[in-house]
Structure 1
Amino acid sequence: MGGLAGGIVPKTAAHFATRHPRLKITIRVMFVHDIVQTLLDGKADLGLAFNLPSVPQLETLWKMDTRLGAVVSPEHPLAGQESIPLSACQPYPLIFADKPMLIHGIVANAFAEAGISVEPAFLANSIEAMKSLASASDGIAFLSRFDVAEEQRNGVLTYVQIRDRTIGKNVLSLVQREKRNHGLAATMFAEEIIRALRGVAE
């Protein structure tokens, strides 16, 4: 998915390729249903996505609930906070994912359940666009720490946890097709991805 393909995945792939230069790695950005179908068709070895549906033919190698948080520039007034209530975001321009994206519903429902009336200043159908808007303004995007792992490491963006329990689950999963003869390279790369994901989680 977009945010992952722009950060943690290519970095992990680059490190992996330096140790295994003869291997070819293909990274494709797809919608969730396309990721599932590509795995089922045997056209991909691994899938990494948020909120994957339960499919019996897919085996989960790793998963974690990666709650959405407030993503802001390091200069933002909220950047120094360890965690904030959802209401603290209300005074600032809000950056929502576009309505067809799953995280739009997660965030919109969280505000509604908290009884907070908001109107987003920006709607974007790209995680990269949301991150750019947050870094270039005093706006707040709502993304997972995995979406902004590289930007946070480079001091470009800051992830601030939201305390409210109204924020719904946002489960990140690494999956592969079951009952398939998975090659050694795919298995090794999966282990590398899992190590990188655990590093962000810690």
Structure 2
Amino acid sequence: MGIPTVSPDQYEHNRSFLKQMYRLRATVFGGDLEWDVYITAGEERYQHDDYKPTYLLAITGCGLVAGRARLLPTTGPTMLEQTFPQLLETGPLAAHSGMDESSRFCVDTSLVSRRDTSHVATLTLFSGTIEWSMASGYGEIVTATDLRFERILKRAGWPMRRLGEPAAIGNTIAVAGSLPAGRASFEQVCPSGYHSIPLIDGASIRSAA
């Protein structure tokens, strides 16, 4: 399974991957989780997709998007403050230059139906998220997720520090949290056989020391 990143300058060259990604988001967040999201023509998009994020994609050997995450610096607009402020205990997010936000993280369970395959796909995306964050100068990742996924993070050895109390959103109980993006976390979640994430144009990202 390949884990490429798609930076803003590569959007146009990878329209087919991004289209699959938007459809996956519609299925997971609009369908499975029943969150109040914007879906047009079967694709889920939001204003934060206009802020030129980097997308981390999990691509199967058949060229299908099996998972994804959206990464943005917190020095600009964040979903936690603009969309999920009720999840923040103190109201505003204590953003800084060493913090990025991961959002719309999901894995297509129809493509990775076996439990062990789904687990590896999830760990691979965790590893890629940490690796990209380290290489980009970030040491902390914040996110909004649900209690089920919070348990997955804990079982993976990457526990989340809550930023507030859980709250009902759609048919799930959501929670905001902070995750360390460092070598120890990367080595803890990294699955066997993982390779450094390539940029979509074939270059490589090397983890920070």
Relative to the length of structure 1, the TM-score reads 0.26
Higher gyration radius (CA):
1
Structure with a larger share of its residues in strand = 2
Higher relative contact order (CA 8 A, sep 6+): 1
